[in-house]
Amino acid sequence: MSHEVRAVVARSKGAPVSVETILVPDPGPGEALMRVQACGVCHTDLHYREGAIGEDFPYLLGHEAAGVVEAVGEDVTDVVPGDFVILNWRAVCGRCRACRRGQPWYCFDTHNARQRMTLKDGTELAPALGIGAFAEKTLVAAGQCTKVPQVRPEAAGLLGCGLMAGLGAALNTAPVSRGQSVAVIGCGGVGDAAIAGARLAGAARIIAVDIDDRKLALAQTFGATHTVNSRDTDPVTAIRELTGGHGADVVIDAVGRPETYQQAFHARDLAGTVVLVGVPTPDMKLELPLLDVFGRGGALKSSWYGDCLPSRDFPMLVDLYRQGRLDLDAFVTETIALDEVEKAFEKMHSGEVLRSVVVF
């Protein structure tokens, strides 16, 4: 049996998305059918629409989602119908070399639903990040469903990608220690989440860097103790001045451009850590003096999905949200309908929102 539902589809590179009726099959072995309650509009969805991730059009967009499991296939035991879940795009296999050496957050064989969702004419859809949740219902691998306590789905769903990337960059990848100084370059949703993560970790000084004073003001609400407008001030000089001339212990690049990475590299203290969490485009190249890489020591890290283990991190972060220690609601700028996703992309470009969230 298939379910006819409305969904957001990107049919071709750079073209506006459309809302169409798609067919979602019942779950087979190892799969789960989810009724989506909310799904955030992430930059990654825009990258898919623009063809910056692949050319496997048509894409079924959406991946920062929370909702309720409606049905499960054979051999599924971790979730049951009625469970409230956050979807994740790293369904840990438990068998690859990363999993076997006790580092499942680097799982090299994450899996998705085997069956494909389709347009009504039978054309197969490629779900964004293996999820495709700008839809009233979606089919995923059961391992992509992480059960958490029932909370506001608009907020919880954002942990499925962008907020987890930022929080995890600070809490898992760096990881930030109590009393350290932290600088975050780029104060969109991911950067602000990194700031919130640094505060949770107990950082003593958190420096927010951006070119937009509106974003810098908002960064302070998430925990930034100092702000630097890099349109007016050299951020490397400013970060050094704010850290006794030494540089920050941890610098997180939430932009992902060669210029911002070079700033992060030179703004860290000796033996400090740089974390790249902003996603570069395939054409970008980085040039650094190799002697400086050697001489400054420390660590240059990339953060994949915040190096998260969804089964460990999602419930923990939801608990912090319920305790009032992590304000996920503050990341939800607006709630929108399914047919407003294209407008949300425009607002994203202009920096008007942290997250627009589709609600069903």
pLDDT tens string 3-36: 999 999 999 999 999 999 999 999 999 999 999 9
Looking at residue 281, its pLDDT comes to: 84
Q: Is the pLDDT of residue 1 over 90?
A: no
Q: Which SS3 state, helix, strand or coil, does residue 62 take?
A: coil
Across residues 335-358, what is the average pLDDT? 93
Q: Residue 331 and residue 309: Cα distance in Å, rounded?
A: 22
- The whole-number average pLDDT for the span 264-273 is 98
Contact between residue 254 and residue 184 where contact means Cβ atoms under 8 Å apart:
yes
Q: What average pLDDT score do residues 269-296 get?
A: 95
What's the gap between Cα 283 and its chain centre?
A: 22
304 in Cβ contact with 106 (< 8 Å): yes
Task: Provide the pLDDT for residue 282.
Answer: 85
pLDDT, tens digit (0-9, with 9 covering 90-100), for 99-155: 999 999 999 998 899 999 999 999 999 999 999 999 999 999 999 999 999 999 999
Between helices 213-222 and 189-201, what is the axis angle to 10°? Answer: 30
Do the beta carbons of residue 283 and residue 257 sit within 8 Å?
no
Q: How many CB atoms lie within 10 A of CB 292?
A: 10
- Is pTM beyond 0.85? Reply is yes
Distances in Å between the Cα of 49 and the Cα atoms of 131, 132, 251 are 15, 13, 30
Cis peptide before 104 (omega within 30 of 0): no
Using CA atoms in the order 170, 50, 33, 70, what is the torsion angle rounded to 10 degrees? 70
Confidence grade of residue 350 (pLDDT, cut at 50, 70, 90) = confident
SS3 for 316?
A: helix
The residue among 307, 253, 308 whose CA lies nearest residue 280 is 253
At residue 40, what are phi and psi to the nearest 5 degrees?
A: -75, 150
Which pLDDT belongs to residue 144? 97
Pure H helices in 50-125: 97-100
CA-CA distance, 40 to 32, in Å (whole number)?
20
- What phi-psi label fits residue 86: left (phi over 0), alpha (psi between -120 and 50 degrees) or beta? beta
pLDDT of residue 130: 96
